[in-house]
Structure 1
Amino acid sequence: MVATQECFPFGCLLKYLFTLLGLFLFVLDIVLDVRTVVSFYQDGSYVYMAVLIFLLLGSSVLLQVFSWLWYSDSLELIETKVEKFAKEHLLIKPFHFLQLGVCLRFAGVIETSTKDILHQITNFRNGARHIIREDAKLKYDFLMIRLIEAFSENIPQLTLILTRILQRGELELVTGLKILTTAAALAFNVALYHQGMHVYGSKGFKMSWMSTVIYFLWNLLLIIPRVTALALFCSVLPCFIIAHFLSLWMLLVLVVWSQKTDHMKSPGWEWFFRAAVGVIWYFNWFNVSKKGCLKVKIAIYNSLMALDTAMLLGLWSWKVFEYAGCWNSLNPYVVIPTLLGLYVTGILVKIIYYKWLHPKLPEPSEERQFRQAATYDAGSTDSTDSTGLSPEDGAAAPAQPLTGVLKRSSTMVANFYF
């Protein structure tokens, strides 16, 4: 959607630098992926190398499929020059076949962000009202793809590398850099998703950077114990981690199905989306439906994950004393209370966030407001216009059924503000 919001120039510059940081981390992560694979090969760690390649290729294919599906029903909304060029020369499908679809989307986001910041600086110099209109029609697909990447690639990679460190008892330079880059990419993708919701916040949906920091903090405090518990369990019972993932993942997919999600164009691809959400839920919570009470859903989910994490730690502590070497420095009586303490702290921070910092809807009819905003923006074609119109100006227009990216963005934001 094209959203209108007042923005202090330096705040816009900060968001632009944040986007560039994301691009830098994206490129650096790819470079270190290749370097880590080479390092595993040189060390003779062929099993780790094979698993890492599987994670990289599997996640890449998953992202390309989502990207292509969402491009295919939104081609008429493409406005950036780089994406128009790819569309006119029939390059979008080859780009995705070559696993470059996300790069194409990143190029579009960088182009749009650059156009927005230059327009904002011009307004600032001319003394005009500081208005920024962001081309978010396809940005919301980009945010969702990056979020899926965080949980289908970044976190599994982090778990694999931690497992290797635990088994070898040493930290190498390449793996250390890979851990830092992966953690930074994860942090960026989670924060980017949260800040991306602010595009809708031009009127009544206020969101501060502090809200984003706290949002990331509770995610971090819940993800760290989860990833560490999985790595510890995998380090002593590596053959059972696949069975654990598949059994829990299938249960989570069924739970997603019970939520009656409606994010994709066809029922078949909706199951594909539910499978991806199951992967996200394996590590952390992500709201995908307004069905049911949110507090009850979060309470049930966190209770299940806390029980599963405690079980993983218990199995690790049972097997750990059978191993020699580095295991002697890991005392289960210290590790387990520390990780569970972090998890409880994360839940408390999460409660604080939702009680005081989560942006609130200005009125209960949020679905109607989102639908009006999406309907208004569907007729907008100029992503740099600064007339200051708001979605409410299009309220008189008759509501039309939303499809494609407009439907996805509306659903995505409605679930977030729910």
Structure 2
Amino acid sequence: MAVLIFLLLGSSVLLQVFSWIWYSDSVKLIETKVEKFADKHLLLKPFHFLQFGVYLRYAGVIETSTMDLLHRISNFRNGVRHSIREDGKLKYDFLMLRLIEAFSENVPQLTLILSRILQRGELELITGLKILTTAAAIAFNVALYHQGMHVSGSKGCKMSWMSTMIYFLWNLLLIIPRVTALALFCSVLPCYIIAHFLSLWMLLVLVVWSQKTDHMKSPGWEWLFRAAVGLIWYFSWFNVSKKGSLKVKMAIYCSLMALDTMLLLGFWCWKVFEYAGCWSSLNPYVVIPTLLGLYVIGILVKIIYYKWFHPKLPEASEEGQIRQAATCDADSTDSFTENMTAAPVQPLTGVIKRGSIMVANFYF
């Protein structure tokens, strides 16, 4: 219970800090009435202090979604073809916050709950289905980020459902073995999971630092972002930089995670044989090949996605600018390019810079 409360509070504080930082450097770009009201009456900081800042963003999303629905109804009545409306520049921050929440709260909770179930030997079919549903919800959240980045980068171009489903599938197939291996290791060596997390997480943070990320407004806050990315990488892949070859980076990451997962399963198997009889419900000769098989299948589906279904890469642009390009369907030959380099502009800052970086990293 103490660990669960720590995860909930820690994730909430992390989200509020990010939300407040991103509000503070983009307050002039707020477009929704509910957020403007909070800013006008100096309520942004109290809301975040009381852990309500993210809910303010949810209220802004509800407002823009409602306005978009009314806009569609009005166009339908007037016989006007509906055009995609922008939901506001702060949508980039909202998508990133949801991604951080998924891997700072939902995935650790799932790992903790699964480890307790394994310790008590209460793993049943209905329990397994609930765990699978939770993992699917996490992968679906990642797929929504994928879809949101595509819509943002392509200025409203709809995403192919096939592309989204394949993206969801490879994330699910890689998250399940990772979380299960961590839970199995935690169930037999609970005190060592903290040491494992800290050692691997610090290594991943250093790798993020080597990518020279530039997502926050100050170097100090940039380290907080790198720490959050390291947390995401502890469970799943997330591209944060165009530096270096994407194929090489993903190959190194997948190899490292595969090696670490096998190490965790090896320690669990060792403890199972040491205390034979207590774990008769889980046969290592079935569990380990199944998890490794799912991981390999997930890698293959991931390769298929990036080879045939991932949107095409945008062309490079001058520093401080971005060319956004996307395909409306992975199987279609029609494409369009948004060129934003017609006139000299000031270096991108705040949410504009973050949005440009997130979209560029997604398509890279």
TM exceeding 0.5: yes
Partners of 1:258 and 1:201 in 2: CA distance: 26
Name the structure 1 match of 2:204. Answer: 252
Hey, what does 1:58 align to over in structure 2?
10
SS of 1:135's equivalent? coil
Structure 2: 5+ residue stretches without partners: 325-335
- Write the distance in 2 (CA, Å) between the matches of 1:247 and 1:296: 23
Checking the alignment, whether the CA contact within 8 Å between 1:221 and 1:343 is kept in structure 2 is yes
1:214 corresponds in structure 2 to 166
Is 2:314 the counterpart of 1:371?
no
| Aligned pairs (5 A) from 1:135-214 | 135-170=87-122, 179=131, 182-183=134-135, 185-202=137-154, 207-214=159-166
Deviations 1:393-417 (A, max 9, x none): 8654432211000000000000000
Q: Is the 8 A contact 1:134 1:199 kept in 2?
A: no
Cα drift, residue 139 of structure 1: 0.6
Contact kept, 8 Å, 1:166 with 1:326, in 2: the verdict is no
Q: Which residue pairs with 1:96 in the alignment?
A: 48
Tell whether the 8 Å contact from 1:371 to 1:402 is kept in structure 2 after alignment. Answer: no
| Structure 2 residue corresponding to 1:329, chosen from 269, 274, 281 | 281
- Write out aligned runs for 1:5-44 (5 A): none
Q: Indicate if the aligned counterparts of 1:211 and 1:358 stay in contact, CA closer than 8 A.
A: yes
* Aligned positions of 1:225-264 closer than 5 A: 225-264=177-216
Quickly say closer, same or farther: Cα 1:368–1:77, change in 2 above 3 A. Answer: same
Distance 1:81 1:175 in 2: 43
Query: Sequence identity, in percent?
Result: 84
Query: Match for 1:365: what amino acid?
Result: A
Greater helix fraction, Structure 1 or Structure 2:
1
Distance, in Å, in 1 between the alignment partners of 2:130 and 2:31 is: 35
Q: Is the alpha carbon distance of 1:148 and 1:357 closer, same or farther for their aligned partners in structure 2, counting shifts above 3 Å?
A: same
Deviation at 1:246, TM superposition (A): 0.4
The whole-number CA distance in structure 2 between the counterparts of 1:405 and 1:227 is 32
Q: Deviations over 1:42-79 (max 9, x none)?
A: xxxxxxx0000000011111111000000000110111
Displacement after TM superposition at 1:120 (Å): 1.6
**Contact 1:366-1:414 within 8 A present in 2 as well:** no
- Cα distance change on mapping 1:208 and 1:132 into 2, 3 Å: same
Structure 2 counterpart of 1:162, one-letter code: L
* Per-residue deviation, 1:197: 1.1
AA partner of residue 268 (structure 1): G
Give the TM-score of the pair, scaled to structure 2.
0.90
Q: Do the aligned partners of residues 75 and 116 (structure 1) sit closer, same or farther apart at CA in structure 2, a change above 3 Å counting?
A: same
Superimposed CA distance per residue, residues 296-319 of structure 1 (whole angstroms, 9 cap, x where no aligned partner): 000000000000000000000000
Which residue identity is paired with 2:230? Answer: G
Report how far residue 83 of structure 1 moved: 0.6
Match of 2:352 among 406, 414, 418: 406
What is the aligned counterpart of 1:87 among 34, 39, 50? Answer: 39
How many residues get paired?
Answer: 353
Judged with a 3 Å threshold, the aligned counterparts in structure 2 of structure 1 residues 176 and 368 are, in CA distance, closer, same or farther, namely same
- Equivalent residues of 2:173, 2:294 under 8 A apart: yes
Assess if the C-alpha contact under 8 Å between 1:74 and 1:405 holds in 2. yes
Tell me by how many angstroms 1:225 deviates: 0.3
> What is the distance in 1 between the residues matched to 2:341 and 2:211?
30
Distance, in Å, in 1 between the alignment partners of 2:153 and 2:73 is 21
Instruction: Render the CA deviation track for 1:115-162: whole Å, top value 9, x for unaligned.
Output: 112102211221212202122300110000100011111100000000
Matched residues in 1 for 2:36 and 2:337: separation?
A: 26
The aligned amino acid for 1:411 is I
**Partner SS state of residue 56, structure 1:** helix
Do 1:168 and 1:326's aligned partners in 2 also have CA atoms closer than 8 Å?
no
Match of 2:238 in 1: 286
- Tell me, yes or no, if the aligned pair for 2:150 and 2:359 is still in contact at 8 Å: no
Amino acid at match of 2:322: R
* 8 Å contact from structure 2 (residues 151, 159) kept in 1: no
For the residues of structure 2 that align with 1:198 and 1:337, how far apart are their CA atoms? 35
- State the structure with bigger RCO (CA 8 A, min sep 6), 1 or 2: 1
**What SS class does the counterpart of residue 234 from structure 2 fall into?**
helix
Letter of the structure 2 residue corresponding to residue 190 of structure 1: V
Whole-Å Cα distance in 1 between the matches of residues 132 and 286 of structure 2? Answer: 24
**How far is the alpha carbon of 1:204 from its aligned partner?**
10
> Residues 305 and 180 from structure 1, CA distance in 2 versus in 1: closer, same or farther, beyond 3 angstroms?
closer
CA distance in 2, matches of 1:149, 1:406: 22
